[in-house]
Chains A and B, each alone.
Chain A
């Protein structure tokens, strides 16, 4: 029993020590705000905003700040003018040397990152009509976001886009998969109502072209890169879509 207890004690000690050690490193990070160079092997993941850990600058005197203003171009685009305080933009290619007042900007559209820039202006184009939230946040060279008092250092602006693309999400969406020259599940007739915005995604294990008659949508399809056909169902009737070089029908669209 005594041996067991002391063993447990030792374990607890090591555990606490280990935790404490980790705690202290974090603290160290916070206090010095210098971070060792980060490997950029997973840059793509960073680009998609998967970064979980952040750099808090609460303890830094004169922390950086950002503000953004948007001017609409009337053609579905917005020109962003970004003002920075105590922050230096460094090129995106920079690999190492996180400094508390250096980094680049992440631009988010409706909550998802759409661009990373190291300039103080940016043109967002091809937006769909309607309200959008555009936010700009400060990011370290290793793509971790700078935080202040537990909140990201960012600014956002709401815009109302007009004259851009009409709708965003389709009313109805279908998928077709072609494997080994055959359509999985046989011939489908997708029935939609007149006026619907329709999306058909065609997957194929061979390079080809999908052609939807009359609506005249011609989209390339490759393994891993599906053809996405978007249309507004304005013409009533039944329309055939075929795989071009294979020369057979892959689905029918019925608009009624």
Chain B
């Protein structure tokens, strides 16, 4: 089949069923009650930072560097395979390795892996490997990096462009376009590295910034020890680590952009949006989706910004927004899981199939090229529950983190007052997230 299949949302032609009204209603009630209980009846002293230290489980020895090298090689190899597949494989979204790898394995899979295992993207990212290679061959010079790079705002660009291709552009999941996309992004990063070194260029790698934020939720913590090349691995309660996460304004913007993008993905699947874009093709569709994407991201961003302003006024803390940015990370993960959990488990199977024949040449390297996708791997009821629990769970952890931050920074009275705007924002996001799920 040589025909080009067009997908509305990155990859995937299967959408989850709308949640039942009572499921959503209960979830909303639980979220609200919990939120208001959080206002006063929780602990009055910061707790999460202590919990986030965790218990040491083992020392990672030098040998682990060998693992790292192996993983980096695999990752770089897969990266090249995907780029080549994008250019020479079948020009068909579902029959090409590139779309499923980028949208499912990388974007969703890596986010989940970061939450589970911590800062692994930093270890295995092909850009990290390439950047360090460029670092070795480039001539050192002491020219200071410009402000747009050091402030980290440039990292918002790849995230925004990625969202635009995934959610707005009508042909964004086409393998050729993805191939070019990855190539241009990589060349851009390497150009920056050539000029100012990878340490600076890493600040422009938006995906790394985002996965780094999510990795703070991980139950594993790695601590570099004084001893040469030795690290200590700690285990702790999941999610508590995020209490250590301090967001710069740029990082906050990236988290909000990702949250807005995911929200638009959900929004674009509602019947309301379906009727708006109905019958529109190609560039007309792109135009409407672009407006919608910008609009939803703006709503998410402005809501938070206003809450931040309000918080600044009530507490007299001018950096209020950034202080509480960490509480958005669990909410982002909740949204991600709710929207993409089924995509990862169902469409994700296509990776296993396509990796056997990455360039569409009729190969069958792993003997999986002809496997079918098991579309009934998870019952639809289970998907619904995962969606509700992840949105409400994300909300609850967000409230906890926010409360903990509040009592850490301010004395009790002020801390309570600081919580009103934050709670309002989180309740709003959660209810909005739940409403989107009713489809």
A-to-B contact residues, CB < 8 Å: 181-183, 186-187, 189, 194, 209, 211, 213-214, 234-240, 242, 244, 246-249, 252, 254, 256
Contact = CB atoms under 8 A, between A and B. Distances in A.
B274 A239 contact: no
**Shortest beta-carbon contacts, A-B, top 6:** A213-B13, A236-B380, A238-B15, A235-B375, A247-B281, A187-B278
A213 B285 CA distance: 19
Given A236-B380, A247-B6, 16 more contacts: A183-B278, A187-B275, A211-B5, A213-B7, A213-B13, A214-B13, A214-B375, A235-B376, A236-B379, A237-B14, A238-B14, A238-B16, A240-B15, A247-B170, A247-B285, A248-B281
B278 A186 contact: yes
A49 to B, nearest CB: 40
Contact of B274 (A187, A211, A214): A187
Contacts of B223: none
Interface of B: 3, 5-8, 13-18, 170, 269, 271, 274-275, 277-282, 285, 342, 375-376, 379-380, 439
A256 B375 CA distance: 14
Contact of B278 (A209, A237, A249): A249
A112 to B, nearest CB: 35
A27 B17 CA distance: 70
A242 B6 CA distance: 9
A244 B277 CA distance: 16
Contacts of B14: 213-214, 235, 237-239
B17 A254 contact: yes
B371 to A, nearest CB: 15
Nearest to A241: B13
Nearest to A242: B6
A211 B13 CA distance: 11
Contact of A252 (B274, B279, B282): B274
B420 to A, nearest CB: 38
B279 A182 contact: yes
A219 to B, nearest CB: 13
Given A186-B275, A256-B17, A240 B8 contact: yes
8 contacts: A187-B278, A235-B376, A237-B16, A239-B15, A247-B281, A248-B285, A249-B274, A249-B277
A213 to B, nearest CB: 2
Contacts of A256: 17, 380
B281 A244 contact: no
A186 B272 CA distance: 12
Contact of B3 (A187, A213, A244): A244
